[in-house]
Structure 1
Amino acid sequence: MPLSALKEWDTQSRLLAGGHLSLLIRKGGIMETHDGFEVEHRRFLLYPTFLHQNPQELKGEYQPLLRDDPAPGQIHFPALAEVVAVHKVESLEGALALEPLQALTAGAIERRFHYRNRPWVHALLLRVRPLTAPLVLDETPGMLGCVSWVPLGEVEVEAGDPAVSETELAVRQAELERLLG
């Protein structure tokens, strides 16, 4: 089955793969159509990127995880992610309420919320399964640029158990739902 990958900051990709987080706040790029937001893929690989990773937009406790690209020109895919829930958050209050569940600072959430004069963000709750065998691909010209989705074609991956138990993921989902009201 062909797989795609979602570009996400290296630090956030590692936090998801390690089970420290299950939530991403995204502005767009996942896929925006004239009808609004849709998740283009319900199952995808995490594509750690170093482009635009901003230390000022990460909470202090996660800044020690920032690093330079250890293998420029190669992508080390850490995990397979499955979308559990997607919420379009159309109030800044609601978006800021999600700060405890993810790695971005309140200022970063607010900037994303107002980006392009479109006041909303998307909250993606993910079940993340670290890969049991590394998948390393050479970065091709088709992977470059500020795109969120990268089609990988037919790649073989084997994912292990979820980084977070189903019980813990349910707790995180319940907290997300509570915060969104």
Structure 2
Amino acid sequence: MELTTTVHTLKEWAIAINALESGQTIMLLRKGGIREQQGRFQVAHQQVLLYPTYEHQQPCLLKPNYADLVQPVTSGWHPETVRIGSWASITDILPINQESIVNALLSFHIWNHNFIRDRLKWKPQQPLLVLLLRTYKLPQVQEIPYRSQYGGCKSWIDIASPMQLSSSQPVLSDSDYRNIVEQIRAIAQS
């Protein structure tokens, strides 16, 4: 059943959220933040608002056309208000341990070989999780006040007030999304 409102929010680099919102990718790669429960990334909610973060974006881990778009910020910086322009339904979670498979997925995401290598080497006993997100633009971008509890190295937060998801529009058509998902699943299962 589709939600009509939510407070559940997935934090991700702003550059990645921009790519999701513009249909340039449907994929996020995760292993977990420093403050994740049990030290590993787990999907807490299937339908989530997308919350952009800026502090830890690293151009050296992005493909050149995305790296050039990163606006560096100082450690501890946060905006006074946070732009929430989209939400996503996490449709697939694909655990991958093999670098060759992750490399075969390179054309489907925004990160470069350095990112893949670093993520696979960090906690090598844990798989890299490939998340496929069906992204929807909210009917109107929302600006929410930043709160200190939204900060820190954690993937999941609940914002103070629920946001309306009704009348959101998918970034990609059903057939375009399904086609990309099928291609990624075929590579992940090879």
Instruction: State the TM-score, normalizing by the size of structure 2.
Output: 0.85
Work out the percentage of aligned pairs sharing the same amino acid. Answer: 24
Let me know the Cα RMSD of the aligned residues.
2.2
| Counterpart position of 2:57 | 53
SS in 2 for 1:16: helix
Q: Kindly tell me the number of residue pairs found equivalent between the two proteins.
A: 179
Question: Does residue 67 of structure 2 align to residue 63 of structure 1?
Answer: yes
Looking at structure 2, the residues matched to 144 and 156 of structure 1 have their Cα atoms a distance apart, in angstroms, of 19
| Counterpart position of 1:78 | 85
Alignment-mate amino acid for residue 98 of structure 1: L
Looking at structure 2, the residues matched to 38 and 115 of structure 1 have their Cα atoms a distance apart, in angstroms, of 16
Question: How far did residue 107 of structure 1 move?
Answer: 1.2
Question: Does residue 18 of structure 2 align to residue 14 of structure 1?
Answer: yes
Question: Does residue 127 of structure 2 align to residue 120 of structure 1?
Answer: yes
**Kept in 1: contact 2:137–2:169 (CA 8 A):** yes
| Counterpart position of 1:43 | 47
Deviation per CA, 1:25-81: give whole Å up to 9, x if none: 1112496559x7641110001110001100011101222322357x82211012011
Instruction: State the TM-score, normalizing by the size of structure 1.
Output: 0.89
**Kept in 2: contact 1:2–1:155 (CA 8 A):** yes
Looking at structure 1, the residues matched to 175 and 54 of structure 2 have their Cα atoms a distance apart, in angstroms, of 32
**Kept in 2: contact 1:42–1:82 (CA 8 A):** yes
Looking at structure 2, the residues matched to 179 and 117 of structure 1 have their Cα atoms a distance apart, in angstroms, of 21
Q: Runs of 5+ in structure 2 lacking a partner?
A: none
| Counterpart position of 1:107 | 114
Q: Runs of 5+ in structure 1 lacking a partner?
A: none
**Kept in 2: contact 1:46–1:79 (CA 8 A):** yes
